[in-house]
Amino acid sequence: MEVFRHLPVMSEEVLFWLIREDSRVYLDCTVGYSGHAEKLLESSSSNSRLIGLDRDAVAIAASRERLARFGDRVHLIHGHFVELKQHLAASGISQVDGILFDLGVSSPQLDEAARGFSFQGDGPLDMRMDQSTGGTAADLVNQWSEAEMADVIFQFGEERFSRRIARAIVSARERRPLSTTKELVAAIEGAVPASYRHGRLHCATRTFQAIRIAVNQELDCLEPALRDAVDVLSPGGRLCVISFHSLEDRIVKHTFRALSGKDDPLLEVLTKRPQVATKKESDRNPRSRSAKLRAAQRVSREGHS
């Protein structure tokens, strides 16, 4: 299957931080198409288990097929990591020994035009990681006020032409509602200078990123999920987070810092600076070029469970 060619980012670094002799239960909060999960199961002891969560039902189905050979060592759940405590409790698990978050959108999601994540093909303006719930990208771009849209595109996309793009989108939807990725791209291209349209980065990249983040409420969910993850880590257990843009990484850094403070710390930060992909990996897998990995360990001392 095409989806099984998906390359997990910084997998060697993930294994370095998470695989330990005394680790028995792993939680992959973004199991996706199971690239990391497969390597964790292959590299850990035969009596270890992996719980995999994902908002994307299509990814869960693909992972179920890919990981079938591991039998009852794997338990996959269609669910959001912001509810990780509830999902673990429903599975009869109170603590885990290693946790992974691999944030952002996966390559198979980007490659499937019908999902609406990418500007490379033409598809419906969806962008939902969980297609069973919530508003779509089309709902948002056709309902936001111009000011709301400009703010979101600037804040989540760090797009310098956010106001021009928002104005162009509102103008385009006045003629008819935007419903496809190509229609959104056309509005963006018409709003920015010619030099920006032909730059190294496609001129729609930052706007698509911003809308996707807003549709899926990605940043709102991250800090509470990280704090819940630390709560379910066993003493000495490790947490590993891979982020793909500065807003995510900032939340991870600040949450780790807050939980590793001098007063009654819960975490010891293992990566003083975020790790980045090696040149060899970056050349092989361009998606890894923007990846940043941070790892931390649950403080193991009396008074912390």
271 in a structural domain: yes
116 in a structural domain: no
Tens digit of pLDDT for each residue in 69-120?
999 999 999 999 999 999 999 999 999 999 999 998 887 788 788 899 998 8
Q: What is the DSSP letter of 180?
A: B
Helix axes 181-189, 205-216, angle to 10 degrees: 130
pLDDT at 21 over 60: yes
Does residue 199 share a domain with residue 61? no
Does residue 8 share a domain with residue 98? yes
As a whole number of angstroms, the distance between CA 51 and CA 92 comes to 11
Q: Cβ distance 103 to 218 under 8 Å?
A: yes
As a whole number of angstroms, the distance between CA 233 and CA 299 comes to 10
As a whole number of angstroms, the distance between CA 184 and CA 188 comes to 6
Does residue 279 share a domain with residue 194? no
pLDDT reported for residue 301: 61
Does residue 104 share a domain with residue 15? yes
As a whole number of angstroms, the distance between CA 27 and CA 266 comes to 19
Give residue for tokens 């963006």: 188
Please give the tally of structural domains in the chain. 2
117 in a structural domain: no
Tens digit of pLDDT for each residue in 274-303?
999 999 999 998 889 999 999 999 997 644
* Structural domain range at position 66: 2-108+218-298
Tens digit of pLDDT for each residue in 28-78?
999 999 999 999 999 999 999 999 999 999 999 999 999 999 999 999 999
305 in a structural domain: no
Q: Cβ distance 30 to 60 under 8 Å?
A: no
Does residue 72 share a domain with residue 45? yes
Does residue 103 share a domain with residue 236? yes
Q: What's the one-letter identity of residue 227?
A: R
